[in-house]
Structure 1
Amino acid sequence: MAGASDNGGWSSDGGSPDDLPDLPEEWGVIVIPDDLSELSDEVDAVRAELRLTGPPTRWQRLLRRPAVRRLHRAATVTLRAPVLIISLAVLVTVASLFASAWPGPPRQPATQRTAGTTPEPVTTLPALELVAADGQTVPLRGRLPAVILLIDGCACTGLVSDTIDAVGPEIAVITVSTATASASTAGTPPTGAMPPANGKTVRMLHDPTGSVRSHLHLGAPDTTAAAVLVNRSSQILRTVPRTASVDDFRADLARL
């Protein structure tokens, strides 16, 4: 009987040698045919695969090294974050371009004031200071309620007298003119102080720069007067740009 060394270390019963592990169980039962020609098909398939694959090139051998593979994985992880950031930036830029180019709701054109546009009416008497007959500065709001008559270029003696007769004793009548007493025309009350007429308060004030007309958006002087009715709170109740008769605002005097 031959020993273990006579048959290459394999036991006589066909088992594995004592110093080698058994084959994995998942391999199953391995059958070695008696005639090796039966394995010719498997041999041809392996040879064809080897011919198709071909020997690896120098770069392929270099890339298959473990160190190179680890370097490739590290580079992939490192570049992934910048690529993601750049992609997000591109998406945000494209979205903003679409948003800016997308037509929105139509905007109402802004209304611009031109020379032909009618200015809004003034509702509060401006706090201006005019000049009395003695040269002293007098606030326009100093005596309210009042009917203010702008009498430049107007022969308004009758209008002023009728207005004084129509108002109550608590309402002042104030005439405003850019002309001084020496320059006032015939038929126009002189610019200066006037004592109360029939118990009424009457003031004649000088407006050398025409500031009252400018602030109240009244037109240039003509042959008529302009009447402004102001209550005790400096609120303008009625403005008559052109008038020659107290009847144009008589009904509004009761509101003062």
Structure 2
Amino acid sequence: MGRPAADDDSGLPDLPPEWGRVVVPNNAAELSAEAEQIRRELNRPTPSGSVVPTLLALLVVMVTVLAGLSATIWAQSPPAPLASTPATPAPPTDLIGRTMPAFDLVDNGQPVPLRGLLPAVILLADACACPAEVASTVAVAPPGVTVIAINPDPAVRDAPPAPPNTLRALDDPADGLRAFLRLPPRADVVSALLVDRSGTVRKLVPELHSTADYEPELARLAN
């Protein structure tokens, strides 16, 4: 089935009105009968001057076919863009200076108020078995600053890379911290959150590479 050329919204100029109603086919193969008739007329001897209407009809067929093909090509959807590799999320700057909610963490099934552990460096380590990052943080934490590993790997929980009094391995079953930070877990990535003794967020590092990412702010937490 085709559609009238007058209804075409391809942007092409209208055909002259004296050509009558021209239907644009969806498939160029539908014009095979007309093309065969034109070939028979061209091969048949005709009086002088009668070739002009035949050539005109052939021109109309060619224009109609080209218009149908152009409309089909333009109607195709553009190709979908290639998926890009997820980049490291930027830290939500609106969280810096905000007061943390009164979260309760869990230690062996018992609630542990987060405010009772401040000031603290909180390591979100639930997506990474990274004892080296935990050990490095413990090594640079000043006295009086608690290092908290949230949902750590069993290797960190069972054999902590620091004395028990300097590292707390706690759980956040409801993922309240990540919801507050708007920071989803990423494979093999540890995130760091620095909170002072009043519960104010001082630093958020979405992807921890070294302690140099937060040492200046860490030194000020103990003051």
Counterpart position of 1:121: 94
| Matched residue, 2:118 | 144
- Tell whether the 8 Å contact from 2:126 to 2:185 is kept in structure 1 after alignment: no
Equivalents in 2 of 1:119, 1:158: separation in Å?
Answer: 26
Residue 12 of structure 2 corresponds to none
Q: Is structure 2 residue 151 aligned with structure 1 residue 174? A: no
Shift of 1:242: 1.1
**Counterpart-to-counterpart distance in 2, 1:189 and 1:254:** 24
Q: What amino acid sits opposite 1:142 in the alignment?
A: G
**Contact 1:191–1:205 at 8 Å: present in 2 too?**
no
Deviation of residue 156 (structure 1)? 1.7
Whichever of the two has the greater Rg, that structure is 1
1:119 & 1:168 partners in 2: Cα distance?
26
* Alpha-carbon distance between aligned partners in 1 of 2:183 and 2:202, rounded to the nearest angstrom: 15
2:24 match? none
How far apart are 1:241 and its partner, in Å? 1.0
The answer to whether the 8 Å contact 1:156/1:244 transfers is no
2:209 matched to 1:235? Answer: no
Query: Could you tell me how far apart the structure 2 residues matched to 1:119 and 1:202 are?
Result: 26
User: Cα 1:126–1:191, aligned 2, differ >3 Å: closer, same or farther?
Assistant: farther
Q: SS of 1:124's equivalent?
A: coil
Give the direction of change, closer, same or farther, for the CA distance of 1:196–1:155 in structure 2 (3 Å limit): closer
Which portions of structure 1, spanning 4 or more consecutive aligned residues, are displaced by more than 4 angstroms?
Answer: none
The number of aligned residues is 129
Q: Please, what is the CA RMSD of the aligned residues?
A: 2.6
Q: How does 1:35-54 map to 2 (within 5 A)?
A: none
Deviation at 1:216, TM superposition (A): 1.5
Secondary structure of 1:121's aligned partner: helix
Number of the residue aligned with 1:189 = 156
Name the structure 1 match of 2:220.
Answer: 255
Cα distance, 1:164–1:215 mapped onto 2, change above 3 Å: same
- TM-score, normalised to structure 2's length? 0.52
Q: How far is 1:231 from its partner?
A: 0.6
Distance between the aligned counterparts of 2:184 and 2:215, measured in 1?
22
1:141 Cα shift?
Answer: 1.5
Letter in 1 for 2:220: R
Contact 1:132 1:205 in 2 (8 A): yes
What amino acid is aligned across from residue 132 of structure 1 in structure 2? Answer: D
Q: Which has the higher helix share?
A: 2
CA distance in 2, matches of 1:220, 1:240: 13
Q: CA deviation at 1:157?
A: 0.5
Q: Does 1:131 align with 2:106?
A: yes
AA aligned to 2:102 is A
Deviation at 1:221, TM superposition (A): 2.9
- Contact 2:138 / 2:162 at 8 angstroms: preserved in 1? no
- Shift of the 227–119 alpha-carbon distance from structure 1 to 2, 3 Å rule, reads closer
Say whether the 8 Å CA contact 2:135–2:161 is kept in structure 1: no
Deviation for aligned residue 1:220:
2.7
Q: Which residue in 1 is equivalent to 2:181?
A: 216
Distance 1:244 1:189, change over 3 A: farther
Which of structures 1 and 2 has the larger relative contact order (alpha carbons within 8 angstroms, sep 6+)? 2
Measured in 2, the distance between the counterparts of 1:239 and 1:126 equals: 16
CA distance in 2, matches of 1:174, 1:214: 17
| 2:169 alignment partner, SS class | strand
Distance 2:158 2:175 in 1: 14
Structure 1 unaligned residues grouped into runs of 5+: 1-117
The whole-number CA distance in structure 2 between the counterparts of 1:191 and 1:130 is 18
* C-alpha separation in 1, matches of 2:163 and 2:123: 16
Alpha-carbon distance in 2 for matches of 1:242, 1:168 = 22
